Amino acid sequence: MTLDDLEQIISARAQADPDESWTARLLAKGPEKAAEKFGEEAIEAVIEAVRNDPERLTSEAADVLFHLLVMLHARGVKIADVMQELSRRQSQSGLQEKASRPK
Residue 36 amino acid letter: E
* pTM of the model as a whole: 0.87
Mean local confidence (pLDDT), 24-37: 98
Mean of all residue pLDDT scores within the chain: 94
- pLDDT number for residue 93: 77
pLDDT tier for residue 89 given thresholds of 50, 70 and 90: confident
Other Cβ atoms less than 10 A from the Cβ of 59: the count is: 14
Instruction: Report the Cα 5 to chain-centroid distance in Å.
Output: 13
Asked whether the predicted pLDDT for residue 97 surpasses 70, the reply is no
Share of the chain above pLDDT 70, in %: 99
Q: What is the largest CA-CA distance in the chain?
A: 47
| Phi and psi angles of residue 76, each rounded to the nearest 5 degrees, phi first | 75, 25
